[in-house]
Amino acid sequence: MEFYKYFMDKQAVNCRPLRGMRDLFGHTHQVFQYIIKTAYEVAQLYGYQPIETPILESTSVFQRSVGETSDIVSKEMYTFEDKGGDSITLRPEGTAAILRAVLSNSLLQNLPLRLASHGPMFRYERPQKGRYRQLYQFGVEFLGENNPLADVEMIAMAYHILKKLNIASTLNINSLGDTQSRENYNQSLLDYFSVYENDLSPDSKKRLYKNPLRIMDSKDPSDRKICENAPQLKQFLSKESQDFFEKVCNGLTMLNLPFQLNQYLVRGLDYYCHTTFEFTSTQLGSQDAVLGGGRYDGLFNQLQKGIYAPGVGWAMGIDRLSLILKGYEAQKFLKIGIIPVGEKCLNYSLQITQQLREKELAAILLYQYQNIGKAIKTAMKNDCVYVIIFGNDEIKSQKIRVKNLTLPADHPLKEQVFKNLDEFFSHVQSPPLK
Ligand code: HAM
């Protein structure tokens, strides 16, 4: 007996999902679907077309583009060798993968392209409220357009979606300028931070000689203190970069889209230039960014040398939005429960259930034919509005005996008998299933 128990335990599967990952079902699943549907609907108004890329990519797609010194590449990627010995990575973000898809499907000739996409991303981060290792994003990329008004449109679309979802948030924006501006700034940051080298956090120390700009993004309290007196990026912006940013800010003002300038907003991915932006919510605690993005004019060239095409985009965190989205109720549609009285009535009941579905009415067959009361309870749990009961008499007479589960027991229409299925069909006016 003891041995048997031991054997069983050895066989037992760990039924918990992996840390930072979760099963989505019920209300949360419905909220996710609602957010995704709303986002695609709005994106369509701005001319965006859907694209889906694989969840696994060659590691190189993300390594150089997202940046060796970024948290994502240096510590968060799920990277492993496949059976053929190739290094592959579960996508930590969507932008590099979409640009890879544009290159591999010869879509460059179709620029400008407006692409929208959604799906799971994977980052090995420390899980906490609003931070998961399998996270879900909806994102948009506008490829091949270098006009600053393209950035404005992008941000307007983000505002539009958040407004439709009834999410209150604040827009922070910044400019990282062009390559030369950033190089000058990085040099000046190196000079400044070198003085404090011993006081910097271990992560920032590592970044000091590789990419000091990323130190400005550090959340470490002692780093933050040192950053307070660091040189400011705006002092290093070239005339062209300043003009570009001014046009973005003027465009936002023209469309009455409020924003806050935030010189620390360098973002966690290395591919950005010029505009960076983030929408934050006060309802989320420390993981407060619900949507982030920016311009990435050099990203195509990082993936394939010699290809220069500008791009701008953003992604929003569906998990985080679902935590703060209030008052969503799934649209109820008419559902019917079919109760066979006894096993003999089961086949007939299944046939009728199928006919209801063919008429675009949702129907479930309740298999608890030993106990009608139990079957009705199951129907109620499943949000059925009606149950139809099939005993021998109904099968013989072809009549349809219906109980309306939403009416009180003494209501005259609580129980109705229809001559046949067609009469019942004309009685129920239901919205067709989506
Ligand atoms: P990101 O800022 O890394 O940007 O992610 C975008 C959004 O995804 C964040 O604002 C946040 O809402 C959500 N998010 C990120 N990490 C997590 C996590 N661990 N758990 C839950 N939610 C998370 C990008 O990914 C860029 N590819 C955006 C972009 C598109 N830039 C240009 N085009």
Residue 6 has pLDDT above 70, yes or no: no
Query: Which pLDDT does position 69 carry in this prediction?
Result: 81
156-166 pLDDT, tens per residue?
A: 999 999 999 99
Q: Is 131 in the pocket of ligand 1 (CB under 6 A)?
A: yes
245 vs 228: which has the higher pLDDT: 245
Q: How far is the CA of 106 from the centre of ligand 1 (A)?
A: 27
Task: Tell whether ligand 1 has an atom less than 6 A from the beta carbon of residue 136.
Answer: no
- Which ligand 1 atom sits closest to the C-alpha of 96? 27
- For ligand 1, the distance from its centroid to the CA atom of residue 293, given in whole angstroms, is 8
Q: What percent of the chain has pLDDT over 90?
A: 82
* Residue carrying structure tokens 């950053």: 227
Name the residue type at position 242: Q
> Is the model's pLDDT at 179 over the cut of 50?
yes
Buried b (16+ CB within 10 A) or exposed e, 217-254: bbeeeebeebbeebbebbebbeeebeebbebbbebbee
Determine the distance separating the centroid of ligand 1 and the alpha carbon of 92, expressed in angstroms. Answer: 9
**Cis (ω within 30 of 0) for the bond into 112?**
yes
Neighbours of 163 (CB within 10 A): 12
Taking the centre of ligand 1 as the mean of its atom positions, its distance from the CA of residue 276, in whole angstroms, is 13
**What is the residue with the minimal CA distance to atom 14 of ligand 1?**
317
Instruction: Return the pLDDT at 191.
Output: 94
Cα distances (angstroms) measured from residue 176 to each of 183, 193, 316: 10, 19, 21
pLDDT, position 9: 61
User: Which of the listed residues 36, 72, 135 should we mutate to test ligand 1's pocket, taking the one with most ligand atoms within 8 A of CB?
Assistant: 135
Residues 336-352, mean pLDDT to the nearest whole number: 95
Residue 235's contacts (CB-CB under 8 Å, 6 or more residues apart) are none
* Shortest-distance Cα residue to atom 29 of ligand 1: 314
Any idea how long the chain is?
Answer: 434
DSSP letter for 260, please. E
Ligand 1 contact, 169 CB (< 6 A) = no
* Res 119 pLDDT > 90: yes
Please work out whether the CB of residue 274 comes within 6 Å of at least one atom of ligand 1.
no
Here the tokens at position 128 are 């906490």
**Nearest-angstrom CA–CA distance, 19 and 125:** 10
Q: What are the beta bridge partners of residue 311?
A: 143
pLDDT at site 263: 87
Q: Is the pLDDT of residue 431 over 70?
A: no
Is a pLDDT exceeding 60 seen at residue 432?
Answer: no
List the alpha helices (DSSP H) in 165-296.
179-194, 202-208, 221-228, 239-254
Report the pLDDT averaged over residues 271-294.
95
Instruction: List pLDDT tens digits, range 20-50.
Output: 999 999 999 999 999 999 999 999 999 999 9
User: What is the per-residue pLDDT for 268?
Assistant: 84
Backbone angles phi, psi at 367, to 5 degrees: -85, 0
Check pLDDT > 70 for residue 10: no
What are the pLDDT digits (tens) for 186-201?
Answer: 999 999 999 999 999 9
Nearest alpha carbon to residue 330 among 42, 29, 22: 29
Q: What does pLDDT average to over the chain?
A: 93
82 contacts: CB under 8 Å, gap ≥ 6: 88
Task: Calculate mean pLDDT across residues 378-391.
Answer: 95
CA distance 278 to 214: 16
